[in-house]
């Protein structure tokens, strides 16, 4: 691809445009987008223009109407794989099998790259069998797959939000394979010498996906029904981490509708002081004294736990100065890396779910920047002698 030609992309399950914001920051042109949620589509069109998104069930879309593109992105429904859901995974007929539609579109349109995003539990659910079903389907399309858990905390955002990103590169011929340095540096840092990833891959064959029966590691590669994975350290700090306190609105700007003062004070009288951090989250009070049991009051000197679309999470209580309140939609926007007023078209209550379902744009930008730099190479003769079972 010419160095002067911009990559083009489409968004599936586009939501409020997290993937698009991340791709635009990486200088990628978005040609087409789709989502089924009417409110999400209204937010999307408000920022990206009328007719910027097709608001329609992906299962009835005409694939031929999707424009040719270099990169396909999809934050496909995470509820089937989330600890907060019914945990049906790919057995969820309503949402879990929507992944099959992604596979059909990839097979028909053959983009050069794809980026998929989901909750980290997809790696371990039922000993990782759901994730391996997904891998098997993707590798049969002649894509080299790499995945890694990425957290926005690495980019300074004070939200502990582990998400698995699955990146695919389409190979030009079935007997070609990228050089090892390329496939091992897309979602890893070149200076992670302590992990010895290259030597591990050189000494270990890619294993048939069907032969694996244990939970999947947080990083790995897969190709043509075979895979290799390894547990990596978290992504190194790329930007200094802020705390929740750093991104809060001034209290003079926070309306009283967000307060829980009277009820919270009554509850605290029957709660235990915790005053400790759990996964970076400051916990002040709790009915049971544990990490997240019962009625909990959080502090602002750490990060927040994963924002979700669950309505119960919208009402978590924080002590901010002398106030006990929930976070505002503007603070949710900042914790997701969006502009403050991104979802103002929606009522306050609905904004929480819109952000909780979104993709953090800066994580997408980081991956897209690396896509441009990798320039996948075909296998050199010496790599064909390796036990990579290609």
DSSP secondary structure string, 126-155?
TTTHHHHHHHHHHHTTTEEEEEEEE-GGGG
**Res. 194 pLDDT band, cuts 50 70 90:** very low
158 compared with 179, residue with greater pLDDT? 158
Residue 380: per-residue pLDDT: 29
Query: Which tokens belong to 377?
Result: 């190479």
Averaged pLDDT score across all residues of the chain:
84
**Res. 187 pLDDT band, cuts 50 70 90:** confident
Residue 172: per-residue pLDDT: 72
**Res. 174 pLDDT band, cuts 50 70 90:** low
- Mean pLDDT, range 199-222, rounded to an integer: 78
**How many H helices and E strands in the chain?**
11, 17
Q: What is the pLDDT of residues 233-277, one digit of tens each?
A: 888 899 999 999 999 999 999 999 999 988 888 888 888 899 999
- Mean pLDDT, range 65-85, rounded to an integer: 76
- Mean pLDDT, range 63-77, rounded to an integer: 94
Say what the pTM is.
0.88
Residue 326 φ/ψ, nearest 5 degrees: -90, 165
Residue 177: per-residue pLDDT: 58
Query: Which tokens belong to 54?
Result: 């097709």
**Res. 115 pLDDT band, cuts 50 70 90:** very high
Residue 240 φ/ψ, nearest 5 degrees: -55, 135
Nearest to 316 by CA among 301, 333, 330, 299: 299
The CA distance from 29 to 178, in Å, is 26
Nearest to 335 by CA among 358, 312, 364: 358
The CA distance from 166 to 76, in Å, is 11
Can 368 be counted among the known catalytic residues? no
Most confident range (mean pLDDT) of 69-83, 141-155, 187-201 is: 141-155
**Res. 359 pLDDT band, cuts 50 70 90:** very high
Going by C-beta distance under 8 Å and a sequence separation of 6 or more, which residues neighbour residue 154? Answer: 234, 235, 236, 237, 238, 239
Residue 130: per-residue pLDDT: 86
Percent of the chain having pLDDT more than 90? 59
Question: 116 pLDDT exceeds 60?
Answer: yes
- Mean pLDDT, range 118-135, rounded to an integer: 91
Residue 1: per-residue pLDDT: 46
Residue 206: per-residue pLDDT: 79
Domains defined along the chain, listed by start: 8-238+360-385 (3.40.50.150), 244-356 (3.90.120.10)
Nearest to 332 by CA among 350, 319, 321: 350
Alpha carbon 159 to its chain's center: 13
In the sheet that holds 317-320, the strands lie side by side as: 272-278, 281-286, 296-298, 317-320, 323-325
- Mean pLDDT, range 142-147, rounded to an integer: 89
Residue 21 φ/ψ, nearest 5 degrees: -60, -40
- Of the candidates 41, 55, 78, 201, the residue annotated as catalytic is 78
Percent of the chain having pLDDT more than 70? 79
Q: Specify the range with the lowest mean pLDDT, choosing from 128-132, 174-178, 344-348.
A: 174-178
- Mean pLDDT, range 54-74, rounded to an integer: 95
């Amino acid at each position: 691809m010419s160095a002067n030609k911009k990559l083009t992309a489409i968004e599936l399950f586009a939501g409020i445009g997290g993937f698009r914001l991340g791709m635009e920051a990486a200088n990628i042109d978005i040609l087409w987008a789709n989502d089924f949620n009417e409110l999400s589509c209204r937010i999307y069109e408000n920022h990206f223009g009328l007719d910027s998104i097709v608001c329609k069930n992906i299962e009835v879309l005409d694939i031929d109407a999707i424009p040719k593109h270099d990169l396909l992105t999809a934050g496909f429904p995470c509820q089937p794989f989330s600890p907060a859901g019914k945990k049906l995974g790919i057995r969820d007929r309503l949402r879990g099998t929507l992944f099959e539609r992604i596979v059909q579109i990839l097979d028909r349109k053959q983009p050069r790259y794809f980026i998929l995003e989901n909750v980290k539990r997809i790696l371990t659910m039922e000993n990782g069998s759901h994730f391996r079903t997904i891998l098997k389907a993707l590798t049969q399309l002649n894509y080299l797959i790499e995945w890694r858990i990425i957290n926005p905390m690495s980019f300074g955002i004070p939200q502990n939000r582990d998400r698995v990103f699955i990146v695919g590169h389409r190979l030009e011929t079935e007997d070609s394979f990228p050089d090892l340095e390329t496939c091992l540096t897309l979602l890893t840092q070149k200076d992670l010498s302590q992990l010895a990833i290259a030597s591990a891959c050189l000494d270990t064959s890619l294993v048939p996906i069907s032969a694996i029966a244990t939970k999947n590691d947080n990083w790995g590669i897969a190709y043509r029904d075979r895979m290799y994975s390894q547990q990596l350290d978290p992504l190194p700090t790329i930007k200094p981490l802020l705390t929740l306190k750093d991104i809060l609105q001034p209290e003079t700007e926070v309306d009283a509708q967000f307060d829980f003062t009277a009820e919270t004070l009554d509850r605290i009288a029957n709660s235990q002081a915790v005053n400790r951090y759990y996964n970076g989250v400051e916990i002040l009070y709790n009915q049971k004294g544990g990490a997240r049991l019962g009625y909990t009051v959080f502090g602002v000197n750490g990060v927040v736990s994963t924002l979700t679309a669950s309505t119960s999470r919208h009402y978590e209580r924080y002590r901010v100065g002398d106030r006990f309140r929930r976070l505002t939609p503007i603070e949710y926007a900042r914790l997701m890396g969006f502009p403050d007023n991104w979802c103002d078209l929606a009522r306050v209550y609905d904004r929480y779910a819109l952000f909780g379902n979104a993709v953090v744009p800066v994580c997408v930008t980081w991956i897209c920047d690396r896509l441009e730099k990798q320039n996948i190479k075909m296998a050199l003769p010496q790599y064909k002698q390796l036990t990579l079972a290609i």
